[in-house]
């Protein structure tokens, strides 16, 4: 009798199955592995599996001098490498209580905002590709290349720039820097509205985005979401606004906030942030103060004994650098609080119940960079 009921139940029950999305999958942008439990097309559970690109950067930092640590941070969130460098440099400078020239602060802010635009244009292109509009990828990259050219001319590298050193900048900006940046801003102001007409306004895109992957403000706070993900849920978490660093206290800008908390809100926060970043650059680019590009530090930097924390706003959210120093030339322990890790942790929460297509679109709006998560 019992046997019969079981068979009857089984024949009317849809079965769940597992799918390995990644580590080599086009939507995971790198080597993230997602273990999906799926019922038909509907996601029941998402389990991220990390560690495929773990390089133990934090452990390597315990071996390196403070100048050397900076270049490792390039390899974490490679799309906002300048801002990562800045975080370490600011932490070290604050610990040493160095007085940084205004020129350095302004240049750091300008390049930081350029990095943010570069990261967001790449995200926009890849985001379009994830939802199936392949052309956006090239339009996004076209604009990003111009920023990369500016970086290459000034810093010598396009992606892993390592332009910051504790105490200032490695060398002064290139004479063309101001001109090129202005040209880029003028160019990008004509191209950003195109982004809207190509993708943002598109009815298919809006249907794919609106009401998908909803994250409430309470959840955003409790999961530690930061950056555009948090701000898309109405959580005011912009480090640039609340704890301004470098020259960010001298500029006026609005923190972009959206209350909806869905994928479309996160998308719009990023688009709006590009406008804000351009306005920040415009406020600073004409009056870069004269002065030294670095202050002299000892060849071997030794931080005083103690614990130091510095947070900055990368393109992905809040990056924290926590240094425990015992007074030697390298930190006793260095911990990065990376934005991607916290943002990934809420993927299961917001993707369950959606379709496979929703998962991909939601993941794209989280803007994950896997080396940032794995470190």
Partner 1 sequence: MIRFFSITKNIHEWLFNLMPESVASVVEMILIAVVYLLIFAVAGLYLVLLERRVAAWFQLRIGPNRVGYQGLLQTMADALKLVSKELTGTEKADKFLYNLAPYFVIISSLMALSVFPFTQDFQAFDINIGLLFLIAISSIGVIGILLGGWSSNNKFALIGAMRSGVQTISYELSVGLSLLTMVLLTGSLQLSEIVEVQKGGWLIVQGHIPAVIAFMIYMIAGTAETNRAPFDLVEAESELGAGFHTEYSGMKFAYFFLAEFINMFIIAAIATTVFFGAWLSPFGITESIPILGVVWFLGKTLILVFLMMWFRWTFPRLRIDQLLTLEWKYLLPINLINIVVMAFVVWLKITI
Partner 2 sequence: MSYFSDIYSGIKTLLTGMSVTGKYFLHARKGAITQQYPDNRATLKMFDRFRGEVVMPHDENNEHQCTGCQKCELACPNGSIEIIWDRGIDETTGKKKKKIDQHIYHLGMCTMCGLCIEACPTDAIVWAQNFENSVYDRTKLTKVLNQPGSKVKAGIED
Residues at the site binding partner 2, with contacts judged by CB under 8 A: 64, 67-68, 70-72, 74-75, 135, 138, 141-142, 145, 149, 152-157, 160, 162, 165, 170-171, 174, 194, 197-199, 201-204, 206, 299
Contacted by 94, from partner 1, partner 2, none: CB < 5 to 8 Å by type: none
Q: Kindly provide the residue ranges of all beta strands, DSSP E only, lying in the chain, ordered along the sequence.
A: 17-21, 33-39, 42-49, 164-165, 168-169, 306-313, 318-325, 333-337
Residues forming a β-bridge with 35? 20, 47
- The answer to whether the CB of 315 falls within 8 A of the CB of 86 is no
Q: Which does 26 bind (CB under 5 to 8 A by kind): partner 1, partner 2, none?
A: partner 1
Does 201 participate in binding partner 1 (rule CB under 8 A)? no
C-alpha radius of gyration, the chain, whole number: 22
**Residue 113: which of partner 1, partner 2, none does it interact with, CB under 5 to 8 A by kind?**
none
Of 152, 103, 129, the residue nearest 29 (C-alpha): 129
Per DSSP, what are the bridge partners of residue 168?
165, 294
131 binding partner 1? (CB under 8 A) = yes
C-beta separation of 304 from 331 below 8 A: no
d(Cα 252, Cα 250) in Å, to the nearest integer?
7
Residues belonging to the chain: 375
Q: Residue 154 touches which of partner 1, partner 2, none (CB < 5 to 8 A by kind)?
A: partner 2
Please state the closest distance from residue 25 (CB atom) to partner 1, in A.
6
> Which pair of tokens denotes residue 23?
């580590």
Q: Is 205 in the site for partner 1 (CB under 8 A)?
A: yes
Neighbours of 12 (CB within 10 A): 6
Cα–Cα distance, 290 to 263 (Å, whole number): 43
Asked if 41 is part of the footprint of partner 1 (rule: CB under 8 A), the reply reads yes
Closer by beta carbon to partner 1, 17 or else 171? 17
Residue 25 interacts with, from partner 2, partner 1, none (CB under 5-8 Å by kind): partner 1
CA-nearest of 118, 148, 69 to 314 is 118
Give the DSSP H or E segment for 94: helix 81-96
Under the criterion CB under 8 A, does residue 138 sit at the interface with partner 1?
yes
Q: Does 207 bind partner 1 (CB under 8 A)?
A: yes
162 binds, among partner 1, partner 2, none (CB under 5 to 8 A by kind): partner 2
**Helix 81-96 × helix 102-130 angle, to 10°:** 150
Phi/psi of residue 332, nearest 5 degrees: -75, -40
Sheet with 17-21, strands from edge to edge, namely 17-21, 33-39, 42-49
Looking at beta carbons only, is 52 or 137 nearer to partner 1?
137
> Judged by CB under 8 A, does residue 26 bind partner 1?
yes
| Near partner 1 by CB under 8 A: residue from 35, 50, 53, 133 | 133
Whichever of 39 and 218 has its CB closer to partner 1, that residue is 39
Out of 210, 293, 329, 355, point to the residue binding partner 1 (CB under 8 A). Answer: 355
Comparing CB distances to partner 1, the nearer of 248 and 360 is: 360
117/272 Cα distance (integer angstroms): 11
> Residue 208 touches which of partner 2, partner 1, none (CB < 5 to 8 A by kind)?
partner 1
- Output 63 or 142, the one with its CB closest to partner 1: 142
Nearer to partner 1, 192 or 198 (CB): 198
Instruction: Please identify which residue in 82, 116, 208, 270 interacts with partner 1, judged by CB under 8 A.
Output: 208
23: preceding bond cis by omega (within 30 degrees): yes
- 201/304 with CB nearer partner 1: 201
Q: Is 130 in the site for partner 1 (CB under 8 A)?
A: yes
- Measured from the CB atom, is 97 or 197 closer to partner 2? 197
């Amino acid at each position: 009798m019992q046997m019969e009921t079981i068979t009857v139940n089984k024949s009317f029950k849809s079965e769940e199955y597992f799918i390995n999305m990644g580590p080599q999958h086009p939507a995971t942008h790198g080597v993230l592995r997602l273990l999906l439990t799926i019922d038909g097309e509907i996601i029941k559970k998402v389990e991220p599996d990390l560690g495929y690109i773990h390089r133990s950067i934090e452990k390597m930092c315990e071996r390196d001098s403070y100048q050397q640590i900076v270049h490792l941070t390039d390899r974490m969130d490679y799309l906002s490498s300048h801002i990562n460098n800045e975080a370490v440099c600011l932490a070290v400078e604050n610990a040493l209580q160095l007085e940084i020239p205004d020129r350095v602060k302004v240049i750091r802010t300008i390049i930081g905002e350029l990095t943010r635009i570069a990261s967001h244009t790449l995200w926009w292109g890849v985001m379009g590709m994830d939802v199936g509009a392949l052309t956006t990828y090239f339009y996004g990259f076209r604009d990003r290349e111009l920023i990369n050219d500016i970086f290459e001319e000034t810093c010598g590298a396009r992606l892993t720039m390592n332009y910051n050193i504790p105490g200032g900048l490695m060398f002064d900006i290139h004479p063309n820097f101001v001109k090129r940046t202005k040209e880029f801003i003028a160019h990008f102001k004509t191209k950003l509205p195109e982004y809207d007409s190509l993708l943002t306004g598109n009815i298919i895109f809006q249907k794919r985005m609106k009401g998908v992957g909803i994250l409430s403000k309470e959840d955003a706070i409790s999961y530690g979401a930061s950056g555009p993900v948090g701000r898309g849920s109405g959580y005011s978490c912009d480090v640039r606004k609340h704890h301004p660093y470098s020259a960010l206290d001298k500029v006026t800008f609005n923190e972009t906030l959206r209350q909806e908390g869905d994928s479309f809100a996160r998308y719009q926060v990023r688009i709006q942030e590009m406008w804000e970043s351009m306005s920040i650059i415009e406020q600073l680019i004409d009056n870069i103060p004269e002065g030294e590009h670095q202050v002299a530090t000892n060849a071997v930097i030794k931080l005083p004994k103690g614990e130091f924390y510095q947070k900055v706003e990368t393109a992905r959210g809040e990056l924290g650098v926590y240094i425990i120093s015992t007074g030697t030339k390298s930190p006793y322990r260095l911990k990065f609080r990376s934005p991607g890790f916290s943002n990934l942790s809420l993927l299961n929460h917001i993707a369950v119940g959606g379709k496979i297509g929703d998962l991909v679109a939601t993941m794209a709006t989280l803007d994950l960079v896997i080396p940032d998560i794995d470190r």
